[in-house]
Structure 1
């Protein structure tokens, strides 16, 4: 039980760190952008802006909730965690990230921290954090359930690049999509190969 509490606290800490880091990178990206320049607006980019569009993407926040659920599988050395516990961890992580993001924005701009983010993001943290955290709790499970859980984030990231690509101009969008698609393809390949190897090993052992 103590171990479980520690991991839930870790989920809160990871969420808060992610939210604060995202706000900070967004600020650096905004301050370094020369939006008054026509050339920069249409084709300019910076490393900070690329990191910003990656961290502030839906798939990255979804990955945070999945990671929070996965942390629970470390409790007491267990490979399994109740999906309900993973759901709670996912919600806590996203709410902590939203709060930290709001506080960091407030430090830079002033005003009440709870007013810096629209209520929809707090609601989204609960609605999406629960199922994504439950998915994270299933990551280490064997079989199809574990496979689908491990593929959730990379597949979701690849799909988002088609439906809602990041970036304010074509150059930033292209760089962002290239990075995400490359990372997603590598992750999917690794997960599938690892799954097939484990399945073959279990088959040989059974024989």
Structure 2
């Protein structure tokens, strides 16, 4: 819900500051900061990351099957609530009809795509390559979307957003790789010891 409300609020900051009709390059610092945040929060990868995070969060202390089920439910609910709160805030700001074609489309999309993304979040705790691949879904998706569907060039914040996302994706990938190596280094000696004892 915080994602949906925050996305709507930052998109309306320039209007609140009476800078809605001013070109992006001529707006003040607060409007530019809100524009930067809005370009990130409007991105599909940010919403996907919310479902992945929800799936990871609810499955941390559960067994594998239960964790996957919890992750699936959490992912769908997270995107459903985020979409509902976004369009609810839009009603307050703009007075639009909540149950329109656009809101229905994104609510259905969120409910359909949220569960598999929640399962991805739950799969992050799996050992080996499965956990690594799951952990890389969000950074890879963010980098890919930024490359294929970059922020609108008319925005003065487009370039900073593009570089910020790519840098964050690289850092996240390095951290995942380090975590995988650490896990492998810890697991290897134990496995070797069991093999010697078993022999």
TM-score computed with the length of structure 1 as normaliser:
0.81
Q: Does 1:146 align with 2:131?
A: yes
2:25–2:155 Cα contact (<8 Å) kept: no
Q: Does 1:115 align with 2:114?
A: no
CA positional deviation for 1:110: 1.8
Partner of 2:160: 175
CA positional deviation for 1:73: 1.7
RMSD: 2.2
Q: Does 1:97 align with 2:73?
A: no
Partner of residue 187 from structure 1, selected from 162, 172, 196: 172
Q: Which sections of structure 1, spanning at least 5 residues, go unmatched? A: 1-15
- With over 3 angstroms needed to count, the CA separation of the structure-2 counterparts of 1:58 and 1:30, relative to structure 1, is farther
TM-score computed with the length of structure 2 as normaliser:
0.84
1:102–1:116 Cα contact (<8 Å) kept: no
State the alpha-carbon separation in 1 of the partners of residues 153 and 15 from structure 2: 12
Structure 1 counterpart SS, 2:157: helix
Count the aligned residue pairs: 187
Partner of residue 51 from structure 1, selected from 37, 41, 66: 37
Q: Which sections of structure 2, spanning at least 5 residues, go unmatched? A: 193-199
State the alpha-carbon separation in 2 of the partners of residues 173 and 29 from structure 1: 16
CA positional deviation for 1:145: 1.1
The structure having more radius of gyration, on CA atoms, is: 2
Q: Does 1:60 align with 2:46?
A: yes
State the alpha-carbon separation in 2 of the partners of residues 112 and 206 from structure 1: 60
1:86–1:133 Cα contact (<8 Å) kept: yes
- With over 3 angstroms needed to count, the CA separation of the structure-2 counterparts of 1:29 and 1:152, relative to structure 1, is farther
